[in-house]
């Protein structure tokens, strides 16, 4: 396993992604974690990330000496390299001018890190993003690569196994970046590439069995990727000791509840309690049209329903008390919460799951995906036998159709929206556009518009279609769907749903619009 110490670079998470992709388990912690945790981690190698600071600035982050006391290989990237150079007596040149973007480096020397890589090319195309640079390598380090503006692009001390890269091997713009990181973790640190879905599943099952023993576990199953994978994993690990609660809020997509029941209860034999809470949710939402107030009502009602079912399950389990609560927390949430030092991301996540459960339901948490990235979770899900269609689904917000019916939520509106959304999804899938968009859905507009049907007038509701392309959901571009496809969807919605007289396509990007309409 590899330990990554994060000095705050915007690319730090990518280092972990690349190392995991090469089949090696790694974890990332802030640079200033306790010495004890560094020592106890059992790292076969350590990577120091880049960061926004200058080693010349007062109080800039320093590398904990424990890193070098461990006597394992160390790779410093950008700021990590500069801090390492400084630590061993090299010279770092402070500069306000940033070198940013693509650069070509010349491989001038030899090192275990670049062995085999420089055979393929004496020059490497890399991605630079730095102000300061190392101008004098510390004693024991050789200069392996340079550019005209950066005299030391790679430095290496093969005897101590310390390496520094001024560029970023973790970004895809660095063509040989994965190869360099792969050489570091495999050849230099000696890590086997055994971090694969099958192995992860086996290891997780062992850990879960150990943690849970013969106790009972409760899981709020939403049908989303994370909670579904947790359910499949726990079912494999502890079978009948797992009880899932699926809350049908009445704000789900067409047939969503039936699908969840079919996959988990019927096909996989998981114990799932389906709670029909449509009326409860709609009653709680009646008369409310403010988006934030609606979100709060939905969140609170969900927790009430879940807590109630938890109590019932506890009472009905032949006296077996439920001691564990499972959650689909994933690694980006954990990293975020470590960064903020306030556990912020954790709170955001639990809000959608079970945050705010009453105190008389005291559980210990089971979070088997806590150190996995989203695409690792997806691979695990496929390996566990969940349908690809479920695993590759677009994200669906916790409050569901509640935030896609603008203004007040009623059953009539939810039914119309569900039908329109299902038609849109069907046509997206049929045309191959579902996979080409990151998220797509229909939105109910509580306004009426005049239409003409045969010889008659129709005065009915408006449906908007929304489809976006995005990687991180922080920024998004509206998807340029073919007009023919939009036309088919619009015709079908207006012909098949009598309560709709008009369909529009949302051409707003984020920012300034958000992806959801509320
Ligand atoms: P926005 O609308 O903020 O959405 O551009 C970004 C992503 O977050 C999803 N989203 C939510 N997910 N609870 C969730 O679990 C929510 O309250 C919520 N609001 C937005 C949205 O679907 C998109 O993927």
Identify the band that residue 338 occupies on the pLDDT scale cut at 50, 70 and 90.
low
Give yes or no for residue 475 CB within 6 A of ligand 1: no
pLDDT digits (tens, 9 = 90+) for 340-394: 443 333 333 333 444 566 777 678 889 999 989 888 999 999 999 999 989 999 9
Tell me which DSSP letter residue 98 carries: P
Contact present, 418 and 253 (Cβ < 8 Å): yes
226 annotated as ligand-binding: yes
Give yes or no for residue 437 CB within 6 A of ligand 1. Answer: no
225 labelled ligand-binding: yes
| 130, 161, 168, 235: the active-site residue | 168
User: What is the chain's mean pLDDT, rounded?
Assistant: 91
Asked if residue 464 and residue 359 are part of one domain, the reply reads no
Q: Is residue 510 part of a domain?
A: no
CA of 516 to the centre of ligand 1 (A): 6
Q: Kindly state whether residues 51 and 96 are assigned to the same domain.
A: yes
The answer on whether 227 is annotated among ligand-binding residues is yes
pTM over 0.90: no
Q: Is 222 annotated as a binding residue?
A: yes
In a domain, 417, yes or no: yes
In 317-464, which ranges are continuous DSSP H helix?
Answer: 331-340, 344-352, 374-383, 388-391, 411-431
What range defines the domain where residue 264 resides? 197-391
Residue 366 lies in a domain: yes
Q: Is 191 a catalytic residue?
A: no
Does 331 reside within a domain? yes
Q: Number of H helices and number of E strands within the chain?
A: 17, 20
- Please, what is the Cα angle at 410 between 408 and 413, to 5 degrees? 100
Closest CA to 118 of 176, 169, 73: 176
On whether both 90 and 127 belong to a single domain, the answer is yes
> 348 CB under 6 A from ligand 1?
no
Q: Is the pLDDT of residue 183 over 80?
A: yes
Same domain, 431 and 470: yes
> What is the 518 CA–ligand 1 centroid distance (Å)?
9
Looking at the structure, tell me whether residues 184 and 204 fall in a common domain: no
Tell me how far apart the alpha carbons of residues 177 and 172 are, in angstroms, rounded to a whole number.
7
Cα–Cα dist 193/237, whole Å: 24
Q: Candidates 515, 517, 518: which one to mutate for ligand 1, based on the most atoms within 8 Å of Cβ?
A: 515
| Pair type for strands 439-453 and 456-469 | antiparallel
In a domain, 259, yes or no: yes
Least Cα distance to 75 among 190, 181, 195 occurs for: 181
What is the band of 118 on the pLDDT scale with cuts at 50, 70, 90?
low
Provide the token pair at 147: 């550019």
Residues 62-107: tens digit of each pLDDT = 999 999 999 999 999 999 999 999 999 999 998 777 888 889 999 9
CA of 81 to the centre of ligand 1 (A): 38
Residue with CA closest to ligand 1 atom 18: 397
The ipTM, to two decimals, is: 0.98
Residue where a domain stops, chosen among 153, 188, 223: 188
**Same domain (yes/no): 160, 215:** no
271 lines ligand 1 (CB under 6 A): no
Same domain? 65 vs 180? yes
Whether 189 is catalytic: no
Does 397 reside within a domain?
Answer: no
399 ligand 1 Cβ < 6 A: yes
**DSSP strand E in 379-484: where?**
439-453, 456-469, 477-478
Question: Where is the domain boundary, 364, 391, 418?
Answer: 391
User: Measured from the CB, is residue 398 less than 6 Å from ligand 1?
Assistant: yes
Whether the Cβ atoms of residue 201 and residue 235 lie closer than 8 Å to each other: no
Q: Is 343 inside any structural domain?
A: yes
pLDDT level of residue 421 (50, 70, 90 thresholds): very high
Q: Please identify, among 146, 166, 188, the residue that sits at the C-terminal boundary of a domain.
A: 188
Helix (H) or strand (E) holding 206: helix 197-212
Instruction: Characterize 195-229 residue by residue with b for buried, 16 or more Cβ atoms within 10 angstroms of its Cβ, and e for exposed.
Output: beeeebbeebbeebeeebeeebbbbbbbbbbbbbb
Q: Which of 219, 195, 226 is nearest to 378 (CA)?
A: 226
Among 45-59, 218-232, 479-493, the range with the most confident prediction by mean pLDDT is 479-493
Joined together, the tokens standing for residue 388 give: 């690809």
Same domain, 182 and 267: no
The answer to whether residues 222 and 366 belong to one domain is yes
How remote is the CA of residue 469 from the centroid of ligand 1, in Å? 14
Regarding whether 125 and 51 lie in a shared domain, the answer is yes
Same domain, 184 and 202: no
Do 203 and 313 lie in a common domain? Answer: yes
Instruction: Report the side by side order of strands in the sheet with 322-326.
Output: 271-276, 242-248, 216-220, 322-326, 364-366
Average the pLDDT over each of 26-35, 99-108, 456-465 and give the range with the smallest value: 99-108
Ligand 1: does its nearest atom lie under 6 Å from the Cβ of 506?
Answer: no
**Ligand 1 mean position to 254 CA, how many Å?**
19
At 356 the pLDDT is: 62
In a domain? residue 517:
no
Which CATH number covers residue 241? 3.40.50.620
Catalytic residue list contains 26: no
Q: How many domains does the chain have?
A: 3
């Amino acid at each position: 396993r590899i330990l990554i110490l994060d000095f705050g670079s915007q690319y730090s998470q990518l280092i972990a992604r690349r190392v995991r992709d090469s089949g090696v388990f790694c974890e990332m912690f802030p640079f200033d974690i306790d010495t004890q945790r560094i020592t106890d981690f059992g790292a076969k190698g350590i990577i120091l990330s880049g960061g926004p600071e200058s080693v010349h600035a007062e109080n800039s982050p320093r590398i904990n000496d424990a890193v070098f006391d461990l006597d394992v290989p160390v790779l410093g990237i950008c700021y990590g390299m500069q801090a390492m150079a400084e630590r061993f007596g090299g010279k770092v040149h402070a500069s306000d001018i940033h070198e940013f973007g693509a650069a070509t480096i010349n491989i001038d020397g030899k090192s275990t890190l670049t062995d085999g890589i420089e055979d393929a090319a004496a020059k490497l195309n890399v991605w630079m993003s730095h102000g300061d640079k190392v101008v004098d390598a510390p004693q024991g380090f050789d200069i392996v690569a340079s550019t005209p503006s950066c005299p030391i692009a790679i430095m290496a001390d093969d005897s101590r196994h310390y390496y520094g890269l001024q560029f970023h091997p973790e970004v895809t713009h660095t063509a040989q970046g994965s190869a360099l990181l792969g050489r570091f973790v495999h050849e230099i640190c000696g890590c086997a590439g055994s971090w694969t879905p099958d192995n992860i599943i086996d290891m997780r099952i062992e850990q879960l069995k150990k943690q849970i023993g013969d106790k009972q576990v409760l899981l709020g199953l939403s049908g989303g990727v994370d909670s579904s994978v947790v359910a499949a994993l726990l079912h494999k690990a502890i079978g009948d000791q797992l009880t899932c609660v699926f809350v049908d809020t009445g704000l789900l997509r067409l047939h969503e509840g039936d699908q969840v029941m079919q996959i988990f209860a019927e096909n996989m034999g998981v114990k799932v309690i389906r709670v029909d809470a449509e009326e409860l949710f709609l009653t709680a939402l009646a008369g409310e049209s403010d988006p934030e107030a609606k979100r709060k009502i939905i969140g609170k009602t969900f927790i009430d329903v879940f807590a109630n079912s938890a109590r019932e399950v506890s009472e009905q389990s032949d006296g077996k008390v439920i001691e564990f609560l499972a959650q689909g927390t994933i690694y980006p949430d954990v990293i975020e919460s470590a960064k903020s030092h306030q556990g912020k991301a954790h709170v955001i996540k639990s809000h959608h799951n079970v945050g705010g459960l009453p105190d008389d339901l005291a559980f210990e948490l089971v979070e088997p995906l806590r150190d996995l990235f989203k695409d690792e979770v997806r691979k695990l899900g496929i390996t566990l036998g969940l349908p690809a269609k479920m695993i590759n689904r677009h994200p669906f917000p916790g409050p569901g159709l509640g935030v896609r019916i603008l203004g007040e939520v009623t059953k009539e509106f939810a039914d119309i929206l569900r039908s329109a959304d299902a038609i849109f999804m069907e046509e997206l899938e049929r045309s191959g556009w579902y996979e080409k968009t990151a998220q797509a859905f229909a939105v109910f507009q509580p306004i009426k518009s005049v239409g003409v049907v045969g010889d008659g007038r129709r005065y009915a509701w408006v449906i908007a279609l929304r489809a976006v392309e995005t990687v991180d959901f922080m920024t998004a571009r509206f998807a340029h769907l073919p007009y023919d496809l939009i036309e088919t969807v619009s015709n079908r919605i207006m012909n098949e749903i009598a309560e709709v007289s008009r369909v529009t396509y949302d051409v707003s990007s984020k920012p300034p619009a958000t992806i959801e309409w509320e």
